[in-house]
Copies of this chain bind each other. A is one copy, B any other.
Amino acid sequence: MASSGSGPRRVTIDDVARSAGVSRQTVSRALNDKDEIGVSTKQRVLDAALALGYRPSRFARGLVRQDTISVGLVIPDLLNPFFTEVAAAALDAARAREWHVVVYDTGDRVEEERGTLEVIASQVDAVVGYLSLPEDEIDKLTRGLPVVLIDREHRTERFSSIRIEGEEGVHAAIRHLVEAGHRRIGMLDHAERSKPSIRHHWFDAAMSACGLDAGAVSRADQSVEGGEAALRELLAAHPDVTAVFTFNDIIAIGALRAARRLGREVPRDLAVIGFDGLRLGSLVEPPLTTVALDTRGLGALAVEQAARLLTRSEPLSSDELAVGAELRLRESA
């Protein structure tokens, strides 16, 4: 049983102290730029540290300083511009509090989400984001951590969630279409979950509020290509449709592209209204009319609620945990 041990042992402050011929505290002082230390001593310590390749343990440091907070931000796909915006907002809100944000991209895979949650508990003080696992499983994996869900209901006491209140905005969108003379309005819903989305319900409600029959619906993957395919499908089945409302802006952008390729000019031959209010929407041609969400609010609220949960101060009420949406008129409708 020789002395080889398991891998190169970590270089600790004691190694540096020994090598520089001083005590630990002196090393600590040198490294943390404290005053109470001689210049030459300091230099000697710094040299020794460098020579040994010493790096302080952030855990030991954090343990004694107890002054940093990190939140884990879990998102399905950072490349999806919607999540990018939410993430950016969350980073902003966290920075304002001097919090650190550990970002996890699950790539929309449940196993990854599970893996992330498994490992997250020992790395952060709170979890915020888009989770798709069942609540009891989340509960088990995050035992003890505050959890703030975005755009998802929750029943478990421990969790909080940020609601999206889009009904108003969707109404406004449909009303706008109707006022422009549209009667046959379709929807491109998302395809991933089994049941129709809440946004679909809002659409239905808005349609009947405007005295229209339920509109035709196609289901689209959450991608530009998905939107493209879905619009083609919808128009094939219902050629008389003159306007579409989509589950989100990404799908709407796909629809825009499909329309162009089908020779339908937007908005003249087909009006398109998206949902989300992505910046991206203003770059495409024609710029996308959309039901714009307060994405910044989404990220900020989530972080704010995490903060309250963490400090045991009065958490935000259910009423406050919501962001609104309003119709943003551009050129596609």
Among B55, B65, B123, B253, point to the contact of A100 (Cβ < 8 A).
B123
Closest residue of B by beta carbon distance from A146: B55
Interface-central residue, A98, A104, A253, A283, by most chain B CB under 10 Å: A283
Among B66, B102, B121, B145, point to the contact of A70 (Cβ < 8 A).
B102
> A68, B143: Cβ atoms under 8 Å?
no
> A78, B68: Cβ atoms under 8 Å?
no
Residues of chain B lying within 8 A (CB to CB) of residue A63 = 57, 59-60, 63
Residues of chain B lying within 8 A (CB to CB) of residue A62 = 58-59, 62, 122
| A124 part of interface (Cβ distance < 8 Å) | yes
Q: 29 A-B Cβ contacts within 8 A?
A: A8-B312, A10-B66, A50-B144, A56-B122, A58-B59, A58-B62, A59-B62, A59-B63, A59-B66, A62-B62, A68-B123, A70-B123, A79-B85, A79-B88, A81-B81, A81-B84, A88-B105, A91-B103, A91-B104, A92-B105, A95-B104, A98-B119, A100-B119, A102-B103, A253-B283, A257-B283, A280-B283, A283-B283, A283-B284
Residues of chain B lying within 8 A (CB to CB) of residue A8 = 312
> A101, B98: Cβ atoms under 8 Å?
no
Interface-central residue, A56, A88, A124, A145, by most chain B CB under 10 Å: A88
| Complex Cα–Cα for A137 and B50 (A) | 17
Among B60, B95, B105, B283, point to the contact of A105 (Cβ < 8 A).
B95
Interface residues of A in 27-80 (CB under 8 A from B): 31, 49-50, 53-63, 65-66, 68, 70, 78-79
| Complex Cα–Cα for A70 and B257 (A) | 41
Interface residues on A, range: 35 or more
> B68, A312: Cβ atoms under 8 Å?
no
> A122, B91: Cβ atoms under 8 Å?
no
> B224, A283: Cβ atoms under 8 Å?
yes
Give a binary string over A114-154; 1 marks a CB under 8 Å from any B CB, 0 the rest. 00000101111100000000000000000111000000000
**Known A101-B103, A105-B91; contact A79-B84, beta-carbon cutoff 8 A:** yes
A184 nearest CB across to chain B (Å): 26
Residues of chain B lying within 8 A (CB to CB) of residue A124 = 58
**Known A100-B102, A312-B8; contact A122-B79, beta-carbon cutoff 8 A:** no
Among B58, B91, B102, point to the contact of A101 (Cβ < 8 A).
B102
| Complex Cα–Cα for A103 and B22 (A) | 37
Residues of chain B lying within 8 A (CB to CB) of residue A253 = 283
> A59, B56: Cβ atoms under 8 Å?
no
| A333 part of interface (Cβ distance < 8 Å) | no
| A260 part of interface (Cβ distance < 8 Å) | yes
| Complex Cα–Cα for A257 and B283 (A) | 8
**Known A8-B312, A54-B144, A124-B58; contact A103-B103, beta-carbon cutoff 8 A:** yes
* Additional A-B contacts beyond A70-B102, A283-B284 (19; CB < 8 A): A8-B312, A53-B312, A54-B144, A55-B144, A57-B63, A58-B59, A58-B125, A59-B60, A59-B62, A59-B63, A62-B122, A68-B122, A79-B279, A81-B81, A88-B105, A95-B104, A100-B102, A101-B103, A280-B283
